[in-house]
Amino acid sequence: MTSTSPALSRRHVLQLGGLGAATLALGISAPETAGAAPPPSGELFRLGVASGTPRPDSMVLWTRLAPEPLAPDGHGGMPTERFGVHWEVATDEAFGHVVRRGHALAQPELAHAVHPKVTGLRPATDYFYRFRAGGSTSAVGRFRTLPSARATPDRFTVGVVSCQAWYHGHFTAHRHLAAEQDLDLVVFAGDYVYEYGITAANLWRQGVAVDPEHAVEVQTLEQYRLRYALTKSDAHLQALHARVPAVAIWDDHEVQNDYVGGSSAYGLDDATFAHRVAVAYRAFYEHLPVDVEALPTGPDTDITTGFDVGRLARFSLLDTRQHRDPVPATEEDRLDPARTMLGARQERWVTRRLDESPATWNVVASGVVLTAVTDDRTDQWDGYPAARDRLLETMARSRNVVVLSGDIHHAVATELRADFADPASENVGVELICTSVASDGDGAPLDDYAPDWLQHDYVKLYDGRRGYLTVSLTPEQMTSTFVHVDWVEADDAAPREVLARFVTPAGRSRLVQA
C-alpha cells in the first residue's frame, strides 16, 4: 500500500512468492545482454500495449509477447524461454526525439509480460512509447505524466469503466472512450475479466466464436491467462490502453464470483481455494500496467495505491475484496461494529490520505457500491454498515470526496449522506457508479432493480444500459458525464449518447443536472 512505490521494494526482495528476485527485476529492467535468444518470428504484440501507475516523473509500461494470444496453454504461442524486449519513450509520435529507452526480459514465469518502469520524466508532459522484439514493433502508446506535486492543473479528466464480460457484448464503450478528446487517465473499476465458461448460453457477442477450452470456468493459471488474452484481444480495449494510462482495482470476477477475503462462496475450504486465488492474482499482475507491489506473494498481494494530481486531486484506489469480513450470517452480524470491508491497515491508510489531503478533490475508487441501497445487498458496503459509517465520517472531515465504483452494471449517481437514514443529514460526498462495458448485454433503461434504488431521494440517476463515465475535475467544479450505447450484442456500431451530465461545485457535495 503505497503512494509512491520503489521499482523493487524490500518486501518483494524478501518475499518473492514463487518468483526469484532476478525474474521479477528483469521483467522491469534488464541489461542488453540478458535474454540472447531471438524471439519467434511473426507479430509478437497482438495484445497491445499499456501504460499505468502514473506519477509526475515516471510511468509503468506494459506489453506481453503473444504471437498466438489464444494458444490453449496460456503462453500465447511463446516458447518457454526468455526473450529481450526493447522499449523507448519519445516526446513525438515519430520517435524523432527519444528521451528514454531500455530493455526488459519477457519470461515464461510471467507469461512473457514486461512491466518496465520509466523514470526521469518531466511532469505534465505528453510522451509516446513503443516496444520492439525480434522483428516486431508494437503499436504506439501515449501518456501524459502527472503534474508536479505543487502544481494545480486547469483540468484533469478520467474515464471510468467496469465489468468487461467479453462474451456478453462488444466493447463499443471503449471505442467511444478512446476517442474522447479530453482524457488523461482511465480507471478500471473492477471485473476486468470474468471467470465464467463461455457457452452458447452466454455468448451474446455476435459475430465471434470461441474454441472449446473457453467453455469451462476459469480455474488454472493457463485458463486465467487465456481469459485475459481473450479480453485484451479486443481492438477497442487495446486502443483505450494505448490512448491513456490506466489504473485498476478489482472486484470478485478477477477470481471467482462473490469470493470474500480468502474464501470461496462455493464450498471450498480456504486452504484449497488459496491455490486459485494465487493464480488469479498472478494473472492480474501479468496483464495490467500495475506497479510491482501488485505482484502477489502466493495468495496475498497489495493492489491498493494512490497518487496526487498536483493539488487538484488525490486518488485513492481501494481493494474491497481481499481484506473484507465474511458475508454476514445474521442481521446482528451485519450490524457488528467491528466488521470491516477494507481491513484495519487499509482503512487506516485511506483515513490518513483523506485526513491529510492537500487536494481540492479526493477521489476514492471502490470495487463495490458505497451508497446505502437495501440491507440485503451484503456484497456491497450495505453488508458492512459500520465500516461504511467510519468511511463516511472520514469523508465528512475531508473535502470534496468523489467515490467511483462499478460492479452493478448500471449507471447510477448518488449523493452520499453522513447518515443515509436521516433525510436532513448533510452530504459528505458523491458516488458515481459506472455501468458495465458489456456485462449483461444490451440492457434497458429500467429493470426490476430500479425501485430499490429510486426509492431513495439521494439517487439522482439510474440506467441499465452499457457505457462509461467521464469525470472532469477543475479547481472550481467537477463535471460527470454518463455515456451510454444502445446496444453491444449485435455489433460495435452503436453511437455514443450522453445519458446525463452533472456538475458538482467545489465545496458542495451535490449533483446538479447540467
Tell me phi and psi for residue 461, to 5 degrees.
Answer: -155, 140
Query: For the stretch 168-202, what's the b/e string if a residue is b when 16 or more beta carbons lie within 10 angstroms of its beta carbon?
Result: bbbbbbbbbbbebeebbbbbbbbbbbbbbbbeeee
Nearer to other proteins, 444 or 514 (CB): 444
**CA 178, 254, 371, 417: dihedral to nearest 10 degrees?**
-80
User: Residue 371's closest CA among 279, 263, 457, 283?
Assistant: 457
Least CB distance from residue 242 to other proteins, whole Å?
27
DSSP E strand boundaries for 241-319? 246-248, 305-309, 313-317
Q: Are 319 and 294 in contact (CB under 8 A)?
A: no
Task: Give the position of cell 488525490.
Answer: 314
Least CB distance from residue 109 to other proteins, whole Å?
5
Least CB distance from residue 374 to other proteins, whole Å?
12
DSSP state for residue 260 in the 8-state scheme: B
Least CB distance from residue 105 to other proteins, whole Å?
7
DSSP E strand boundaries for 321-435? 361-365, 401-405, 411-417, 427-433
Nearer to other proteins, 73 or 331 (CB): 73
Nearer to other proteins, 41 or 199 (CB): 199
Nearer to other proteins, 80 or 119 (CB): 80
Please report the DSSP string for 173-234 in residue order. Answer: HHHHHHT-SS-SEEEE-S-SS--S---TTT--STT----GGGSS---SHHHHHHHHHHHHT-
Q: Which three cell numbers stand for residue 273?
A: 481455494
Tell me phi and psi for residue 131, to 5 degrees.
Answer: -120, 155
Task: Give the position of cell 472532469.
Answer: 472
Whole-number Å distance between alpha carbons of 68 and 270: 35
Nearer to other proteins, 216 or 493 (CB): 216
Amino acid at 201: A
Nearer to other proteins, 258 or 389 (CB): 258
Least CB distance from residue 274 to other proteins, whole Å?
8
Number of C-beta neighbours around residue 57 at 10 A: 15
Least CB distance from residue 10 to other proteins, whole Å?
18
Nearer to other proteins, 109 or 463 (CB): 109
Q: Which residues bind other proteins (CB under 8 A)?
A: 16-20, 22-23, 25-26, 30-31, 34-35, 73-75, 80, 82, 105, 107-111, 197, 201, 215-217, 219-222, 265-268, 271-272, 275-276, 278-279, 282, 297-299, 376
Amino acid at 224: Y
Least CB distance from residue 282 to other proteins, whole Å?
6
Nearer to other proteins, 222 or 415 (CB): 222
Nearer to other proteins, 268 or 454 (CB): 268
Least CB distance from residue 26 to other proteins, whole Å?
7
Tell me phi and psi for residue 347, to 5 degrees.
Answer: -65, -40
21-to-72, 125, 197, 280, 491 alpha-carbon distances in Å? 28, 32, 35, 21, 45
Least CB distance from residue 185 to other proteins, whole Å?
30
Least CB distance from residue 79 to other proteins, whole Å?
9
Least CB distance from residue 399 to other proteins, whole Å?
40
Nearer to other proteins, 9 or 220 (CB): 220
From the CA atom positions of the chain, what is the Rg in Å? 22
Nearer to other proteins, 98 or 265 (CB): 265
